[in-house]
């Protein structure tokens, strides 16, 4: 297994492997990997599955693979970490994968503060109902604070500007910012 630094040229590769991950979790989207690539100093490796390493946090994302292949893939990753003197710490394991993970070999630990909330697209488009009142309030506050905002499609031309904006956000919230960790996997 050979890791290389993620670049925008790897986006299609990540999209290909994202289709193999059987979850709705945003952690496994090509967009998410691309957006966090610089902030997390992401490295990737391909070996029947996609392996993603957050160099900044010294953690691995769960390998991009099918449920039926998860134990074999995790074992390969464990061997790699042992051979290279790295900690075997895998984060963001989707709940859909729990039943497929060998509990005698691996143990899961939950980080409740990083749970995801998944909404139906239609609900987020309309933001109707009492349940989404806080989201409507956030939007109203944003529009009042930034009346000159604009929305545009992410392109190669504005990509670096988006990364710069992300870096400013990360810098401004450094004290509160920490690595997202829905679940953590450790070798037992």
pLDDT tens readout for residues 99-129: 898 888 887 777 666 666 666 778 888 888 8
Measuring CA to CA, how many Å separate 155 from each of 25, 31, 152, 163, 180? 24, 12, 9, 12, 26
What is the pTM (predicted TM-score) of this model?
0.63
More confidently predicted of 35 and 49: 49
Are 143 and 55 in contact by the 8 Å Cβ rule? The answer is: no
Measuring CA to CA, how many Å separate 127 from each of 27, 48, 88, 124, 183? 23, 41, 41, 5, 29
Q: Over range 16-22, report the average pLDDT.
A: 88
Q: What integer best gives the mean pLDDT of the chain?
A: 82
What pLDDT shows up at residue 154?
80
pLDDT tens readout for residues 55-83: 998 989 899 999 899 999 999 999 999 99
Q: How far apart are CA 110 and CA 184, in angstroms?
A: 6
> Which residues make up the CATH 3.40.630.30 domain(s) of the chain?
4-116+178-187
- Provide the pLDDT confidence category of residue 177 given band limits of 50, 70 and 90: very low
What pLDDT shows up at residue 117?
63
pLDDT tens readout for residues 131-166: 888 889 988 999 999 999 888 888 888 888 887 887
Q: How far apart are CA 76 and CA 72, in angstroms?
A: 6
**What's the CATH superfamily of 4-116+178-187?**
Gcn5-related N-acetyltransferase (GNAT) (3.40.630.30)
């Amino acid at each position: 297994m050979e890791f290389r630094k993620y670049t925008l040229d790897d986006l299609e590769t990540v999209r290909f492997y994202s289709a193999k991950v059987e979850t709705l979790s945003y952690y496994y989207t090509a967009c998410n990997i691309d957006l966090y690539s610089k902030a997390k100093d992401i490295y990737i490796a391909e070996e029947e599955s996609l392996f993603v390493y957050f160099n900044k946090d010294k953690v691995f994302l769960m390998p991009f693979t099918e449920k039926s292949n998860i134990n074999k893939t995790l074992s390969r990753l464990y061997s790699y970490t042992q051979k290279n003197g790295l900690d075997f710490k895998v984060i963001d394991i989707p709940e859909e994968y729990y039943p497929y993970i060998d509990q005698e070999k691996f143990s899961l630990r939950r980080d409740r503060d990083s749970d995801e909330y998944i909404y139906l697209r239609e609900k987020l488009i309309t933001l109707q109902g009492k349940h989404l009142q806080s989201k409507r309030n956030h939007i109203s506050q944003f529009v009042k604070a930034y009346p000159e905002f604009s929305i545009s499609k992410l392109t190669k031309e504005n990509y670096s500007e988006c990364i710069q904006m992300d870096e400013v956000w990360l810098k401004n919230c450094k004290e509160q910012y920490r690595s997202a960790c829905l679940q953590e996997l450790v070798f037992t």
